[in-house]
Structure 1
Amino acid sequence: MAGWTDDELERIGSAEELNLQSLRGDGTLRDPVTMWVVRDGDDVYVRSVKGAQGPWFRGTRSRLEGRIRAGGVDKDVAFVDVGDGGETTSRLDAAYRAKYGRYPADIFGSIVTPQAQAATLRLVPR
C-alpha cells in the first residue's frame, strides 16, 4: 500500500471534519458518517466517541475497508485498529486537544475517553 502524499496529509489534517464510509460485506458503501480527524506524523486517525459499540465503528468490522473524504481528498482506505493505550494514545489525545480543544468540555471530552481511545482507527490509503 502506498502512503499518503504530503498534500493529502496537509489537507486531511487541516480539515475540520472527515466523512467516512465503510464497506459492507457485499462491497457496497454504507452512508457517510461525519467525524473529527487528526494527523500524527505521516498517519491519519479517527475515533468512535461511542467506542466499539458505535454503529459506524461496528460497520468497519465487516471488511476493514472504506472511503473517506476530507479537505478535498477522496480516497479508498483500510482501517487499522490502534487503541493501544500507550504512547500513540497519548499523542493522539494531544492532537485532538490541540485541534478541537476549543469546543465545550462535554463535547470535546467525548473523544478522549477510554472508550473512544480503545476505538481508534488509523486510516491507510489503498
Structure 2
Amino acid sequence: MHKEGNFLAKQWDPQLLKSLTNEQTIKVAPDYADHRALTPIIVWFVRVGNDLYVRAYRGPRSKWYQSAVKQGTGQAELDGHQLSVKFAPVDRSSFVNKTVNQEYLAKYHGNSMLWMVENALDSTLKVSPK
C-alpha cells in the first residue's frame, strides 16, 4: 500500500500484474447508481509502472465510461480473477495521460490510430483495486 492523500491506497498484486504481461484485453463493469454492475465490456488496457489504465473507444460518450466516472466503482476481470475496482479519470493534459498514450502506441502499434482519436484521449481511466 502507498499513501494517497490521507488514505492508504491499495496496490495491485505484483503476481497479477506479471500475469497480465501478454494479455491484450481486460473486462470492466462499472456500477450503476444502484450499485448493480453493468454488463462487462472488453477493453484494451496498458500498464504504467504498477498502475492500470483503460480508455473508452467512443470517448466520454460511452455509457460504461460515464458510469465509471459517476460511480467510481465496479468490477474488473483480470487474468480470470473477478475483482472490485475503483475508476478515476485522468486529465488529458497530464503527464500520466501522455505516458499512457505512449504505452498504448507501443502495445497496440497495429491499431494505434484507434487510440489517437480525440475522444479516446479524453476518456482515460486509472483502474485501482478497491
Mark yes or no: TM-score above 0.5: yes
Q: CA-atom RMSD, angstroms?
A: 1.5
Q: How far is the alpha carbon of 1:12 from its aligned partner?
A: 3.2
**Is residue 126 of structure 2 the alignment partner of residue 118 of structure 1?**
no
Structure with greater strand percent: 2
Q: What's the % identity of the aligned pairs? A: 22
Paired residues, number: 122
Offset from partner CA, 1:20-48 (integer Å, 9 cap, x none):
10111111111011010100001000001
Q: Is the 8 A contact 2:59 2:120 kept in 1?
A: yes
* Equivalent residue number for residue 8 of structure 1: 16
Q: How far is the alpha carbon of 1:13 from its aligned partner?
A: 4.4
**Is residue 106 of structure 2 the alignment partner of residue 102 of structure 1?**
no
Q: How far is the alpha carbon of 1:112 from its aligned partner?
A: 2.4
**Is residue 53 of structure 2 the alignment partner of residue 45 of structure 1?**
yes
Distance, in Å, in 1 between the alignment partners of 2:90 and 2:20 is 19
| Most deviating of 115-124 and 6-15 | 6-15
Q: Any unmatched runs of 5+ in structure 2? A: 1-8
Q: Is the 8 A contact 1:85 1:117 kept in 2?
A: no
User: Whose relative contact order is higher, 1 or 2, with alpha carbons under 8 Å and at least 6 apart?
Assistant: 1
Distance, in Å, in 2 between the alignment partners of 1:97 and 1:73 is 26
| Off by >6 Å, runs of 4+ in structure 1 | none
Q: Is the 8 A contact 2:69 2:89 kept in 1?
A: no
Distance, in Å, in 2 between the alignment partners of 1:114 and 1:29 is 28
